[in-house]
Amino acid sequence: MIRQGVSISSSSIENACSIRPRTLHPINGPTELLIDFIVIGGGIAGLSCASALSRVGHRVVVLEQYTEDELDSMSQGGIRLAPNASKILFRWGLREALRAVSVISGAVEMDRYGDGEFMGSHVWDDEIIAQTEGEYLSLHHADLRRLLLAHARTSGAQVHHGAKIASVDCDQGHVVLSTGGQFQADVIVGADGPSSFIQKMVTKEDPYSSTESTCLFYSTIIPAQTMLSDPELSALYNCKHATTFAWVGPDAAAIGFRVGGRHDFALHFWLKPSEEELNHYDNDTWDPISASELHSLLGRCEPRLSKMARAASVLARRPVKMAQPLNDWMHENGRAIVLGDAAHLLPTGSIQASALALEDAAVLGRLFSHLSSPAQIPHFLYAFQDIREDRCEGVLAAEQANLEFKMMPPGPEQVERDDMLKERLVLGTGLFGWGRPRGERGEAMSRDEDEEEEEDGDEDEGGGLVDMEDDAEDEDEEGETVDDDDEDSALLAEQWQEIHALYSYLAEDVADEWWVKSGMLRERAVVRLKDLDEMMALRAQRRLRKAVAFDDD
């Protein structure tokens, strides 16, 4: 087939992806057996999967039902990449291309949704983030999709847009399009979102439709010039460390962050409408909405949120569901698998949704870099779920709990949450309950700036400055002195433990570890069994020849 070129709006993406990326080979050499994959879905998960498999030499065709223009219109909002997501793209050689269209966010601030009261802030320690090998990045969703599209094609994948599926035969690896076009593959990958076509074939159910919506998610973009023309909004846009802002409800939540590329400001809302509205918007699509309609749904909110909602230029709505983990990701024939949102449906707007999709792709690609026999295919697909399942279920539970924390309904638990955040602010223990004081609203300080402030001041104002005389030297329970350096080390260790499991996950290394501990041993056992069978067959043949010779005598 003739591959068509891809038009990239950002020249930095096009230039960075024009050079064929470095192919990663497994520890035992290049991929021995190259096979054909069909990936259904050309979003973040599908394109990541295509890149990962193509990078190790496999032949990949991506079938996406929407045209590129349709995808652009549906993906104009902002997206956040956590360190465990960005590090995968860095490892694929996309560091510069990604940085060209993104903003590095180094802090988070939490305010109250209803009145904007400052609840606390936190600056991520540079040393801690460096050890994760990634960065907190924010960018336009469309720019991330274009970057992955260019990378997938440069890696060798064929990507077809406007390719609507008519039928899929997982047993035969056969896909027919509505136009009559046909494709054949050794493995079919379902990366087509929560209401996945392949997911229904794998589970024999429709888990997305059978799960009720809990709230609605709204994605908006506010132009940079709008933010900069208003003093209150300009403070959000130009905040130190490109801070990510979070507003907590009751019954509502919001996230705001600056995005790279066109340098707009993205704003996400989670709102709980009436049951009628929830039931009306229950499909897996992005529905357009006007700024005036969004503003009417905000309820009681602080002035900055109201201003931004009125000024939003791009708005879309989608339901949020608290789905249960799937039991099976692999088709019973061992030749089809689901990944990304099709395998684990996180609440819409979760930062880890794109991360899990990238991790899935990296693990699958790494596993199939070890392929040497068709008999390994079902074992690798089974290993994929075995490797990823616990990790994904843990992240799913954490993201669901995080949204519930931000959207607590009015009541004792919501009051307790607010009191806890206020107490941490007063004590100066940081937004997450650990770390040094980080200043007042809008001035989340780096560690160096924090220490400079402490040298100049001796007051504790709202969790800002700490009395140097009182803090210079403390005693532990046994009466031994503990200086500031020891306290800093202890706090740093605690912070590292909190985020290590989530952000330091190395998807490709985890796959290689499985190969060394399980996959390679199994292959050796298979070879030994094959050798034993051959040896026994030879012995049987010799005995038969001897018996025949004896009879002839």
Q: Which residue has the tokens 């607590």?
A: 408
Q: Give the confidence band of 237 by pLDDT, cuts at 50, 70, 90.
A: very high
Q: Could you tell me the pLDDT band of residue 476, with boundaries at 50, 70 and 90?
A: very low
- Neighbouring residues of 270: CB distance < 8 A, sequence distance ≥ 6: 215, 216, 217, 218, 252, 253, 254, 320, 347, 349, 403, 406, 407
Domain map (residue ranges) of the chain: 34-105+127-210+325-406, 213-321, 412-503, 506-553
Q: Which of 214-223, 466-475, 512-521 has the lowest mean pLDDT?
A: 466-475
Contact 40, 175 (CB under 8 A): yes
What pLDDT sits at residue 216? 94
Does position 12 have pLDDT exceeding 70, yes or no? Answer: no
Q: What sign does the CA torsion over 20, 26, 29, 35 have?
A: negative
CATH topology of domain 213-321: D-Amino Acid Oxidase; Chain A, domain 2 (3.30.9)
Is the per-residue pLDDT at 450 higher than 50?
no
Measured between alpha carbons, how far is 378 from 382 in angstroms, rounded to an integer?
Answer: 6
Strand pairing class (252-258; 265-271): antiparallel
Q: Is it the case that residue 23 has pLDDT exceeding 80?
A: no
Report the sign of the C-alpha dihedral through residues 460, 462, 465, 470, in that order: positive
Name the more confident of 522 and 528: 522
- Round to whole Å and give the CA distance between 184 and 31: 21
> pLDDT by residue (tens digit) across 127-148?
888 989 999 999 999 999 999 9
Smallest Cα–Cα separation from 126: which of 273, 268, 241?
A: 241
Q: How much is the average pLDDT of 204-217? A: 89
Report pLDDT digits (tens) over 309-322. Answer: 999 988 999 999 99
In tens, the pLDDT along 93-134 reads 999 999 999 999 999 999 999 999 999 998 888 888 898 999
Spatial contact of 100 and 262, defined as CB atoms under 8 Å apart: no
Closest by alpha carbon to 187, among 335, 371, 376, 48? 335
Pull the structure tokens for residue 348.
Answer: 């819409």
Query: Distance between CA atoms of 550 and 390, rounded to whole angstroms?
Result: 62
Taking phi first (over 0 means left), then psi (-120 to 50 degrees means alpha), and beta for anything else, what does residue 120 get?
left
Confidence bin at 364 (pLDDT 50/70/90):
very high
Q: Does the pLDDT value for residue 282 go beyond 80?
A: no
pLDDT band at 277 (very low <50, low <70, confident <90, very high): confident
* 215 phi/psi in degrees, rounded to 5: -165, 180
The C-alpha atoms of residue 138 and residue 263 are separated, in whole angstroms, by 10
**Other Cβ atoms within 10 Å of 47 Cβ, number:** 29
Give the model's pLDDT for residue 7.
Answer: 30
For residue 393, the Cα-to-chain-centroid distance in whole angstroms is: 13
Would the pLDDT of 20 be above 50?
no
Of residues 58, 28, 221, 40, the one with CA closest to residue 142:
221
Q: What integer best gives the mean pLDDT of the chain? A: 83
Give the residue, 496 or 187, on which the prediction is more confident.
Answer: 187
Residue 252 confidence (pLDDT) above 80: yes
Paired tokens of 140: 């336009």
Residue 481 has pLDDT above 60, yes or no: no
- Placement of tokens 């020249």 in the chain: 11
Contacts of 537 (CB under 8 A, 6+ apart): none
Closest CA to 76 of 143, 137, 13: 143
Superfamily of 34-105+127-210+325-406 according to CATH: FAD/NAD(P)-binding domain (3.50.50.60)
Q: What is the pLDDT of residues 381-420, one digit of tens each?
A: 999 999 999 999 999 999 999 999 999 999 999 999 999 9
Spatial CB neighbours of 382, under 8 Å, sequence gap ≥ 6: 330, 334
Q: Indicate the pLDDT class of residue 179, thresholds 50, 70 and 90.
A: very high
Look at residue 210 in the predicted model and tell me its pLDDT. Answer: 87
| Tokens encoding 179 | 């136009």
Confidence band of 464 (pLDDT split at 50, 70, 90): very low
Least Cα distance to 262 among 221, 296, 230, 295 occurs for 221
> How far is Cα 8 from Cα 15, in angstroms, rounded to an integer?
9
Virtual torsion, Cα 105, 107, 111, 117, nearest 10 deg: -130
